[in-house]
Amino acid sequence: MKRASGVLLPVSSLPSKYGIGCFSKEAYKWIDQLKEAGQSYWQILPLSPTSYGNSPYQSFSSFAGNPYFIDLEELIEEGILTKKECDAVDFGKDASCIDYGKIYEGRFELLHLAYERSNISEVDEYHKFVEENGYWLNDYALFMAVKARFGGAAWSEWAEDIKKRYNYALDYYHRECSLEIEFYKYVQFLFAKQWGKLKAYANENGIEIIGDMPIYVAFDSADAWASPELFQFNENFEPYAVAGCPPDAFSADGQLWGNPLYRWDYHKYTDYDWWAKRVSHSFTMYDVVRIDHFRGFDEYYSIPANEKTAVNGHWEKGPGIDLFRRLEAKLGAKQIIAEDLGFQTPTVAQLLKDSGYPGMKVLEFAFNPKDKSDYLPHKYDFNCIVYTGTHDNETLVQWYKGLDKESRAYAEEYMNNAHVPEEERYWDFIRLAMMSTANTCIIPAQDYLGLDKEARINFPSTLGENWTWRIDSSMFAKSLTKKIYALTNISDRLPYVAK
């Protein structure tokens, strides 16, 4: 990747009307602000539909788009919905926080109304979309329609015949749920149309989109239901092993994620066909793809499905470089970022080197006086992406406040900034990242804004208040945009056309 910089901000965190960030006029304004600030990238989180817990990393589909991101105001302008109808729905009163319960109720009610008025079956563009995306869309729409028929229950709790996809059951539910199936296809058509237009606007203005592809899919997903042969399931379509991470200094029980694990032998037998489709689809949505949990392709942590913690798991070999060589042979060279955070074994480091992908460096992991971390900028090579923090970390301000005495002293000495007022030191860390040799620098929006714990996106392995933070439309003032531009200029990260 080129020497450049960008900002990390989830679509859901954008300011917009009706409760959640979406593909609205505020998203276009955000792209304008990125351009004015001299940025080259907008990094976002997965655009997938969210399920229980509202995490974009636990989705009903690894191919579908999130219906929440469809801009209702555009549907009002098109005359499909009315402003009165949208304004009458309660999406929550706090503009800084997403109320997912109200979003779920209100958005789908309005989208169903839009579908009923759409005459979508007469739209040629819709039929073309369905035909081109049928390889995932047909199973996804049926999955969601049947899920609704069973009161939202996970597919493992459905009737045996449709759970195991017997032909007569598939035929029955296709007939019985035909309108609901078409509704979910219509929603995906709207999503793709609006996102395609927004992404095109970004690209026209010199902004590339960095998207995020989770390594695993959720068990309760169209992926797992439609293609159980891809996963480590028993004859009853139940996982016999699930994903997670082993115990470490931060978690005595480790992390039990619960995602189904892949049958890598089967994937290799099919020449990684499902992966090729998934990655290819990701690059229709994004310009650059960050692959989550990269070390899981070298070795993955396998936990017996009946365990309550991750303590009794063990490591097994993943596909290694074979997967990525086959993907390149099928799809050509692609811009991929490897999320290689965490404990690095020699084999993971070798996989990263063999792939040629840039890895990640996070400044919040750098300042441990007892361990000369590889995340310190003087150790970087060019082929990496530096972040102050990610969506899983504390904001820079929150992190610095929480540093112990020794770590803070070490950071002060490394950066020679003891004379700088504490409330301004977050800018020194941003400057350090921007001035580093890393080809690409991505700064979370919260860090540019100097926000504290109230702006943290996610606290891993917890449920509750994650994924809810939203930016205020007045936060990115002209003065801040100019300051970011000046720093981007002096660190030689401006787009070529801006020089």
Q: Give catalytic residues, as residue numbers.
A: 292, 339, 392
Q: How many CB atoms lie within 10 A of CB 425?
A: 20
Q: How wide is the angle at C-alpha 340 spanned by C-alphas 408 and 231, nearest 5°?
A: 135
Long-range CB contacts (within 8 A, 24+) of 222-225: 222/60, 222/61, 222/63, 222/64, 222/136, 222/139, 222/140, 222/143, 222/144, 223/61, 223/62, 223/63, 224/155, 224/260, 225/139, 225/143, 225/155, 225/163, 225/165
In 3-state terms, what secondary structure has residue 384? Answer: strand
Edge-to-edge order in the sheet of strand 299-304: 255-260, 241-245, 299-304, 314-317
**At 243, which helix (H) or strand (E)?**
strand 241-245
Q: Confirm if 250 and 244 have CB atoms less than 8 A apart.
A: no
Q: Confirm if 115 and 187 have CB atoms less than 8 A apart.
A: yes
Residue 133 DSSP class: T
Q: DSSP states of 321-369 as a string?
A: HHHHHHHHHHH----EEE---SPPPHHHHHHHHHHT--EEEEGGGTEET
**At 167, which helix (H) or strand (E)?**
helix 167-176
CA distance 399 to 198: 33
What is the rounded end-to-end Cα distance, in angstroms, of the chain? 18
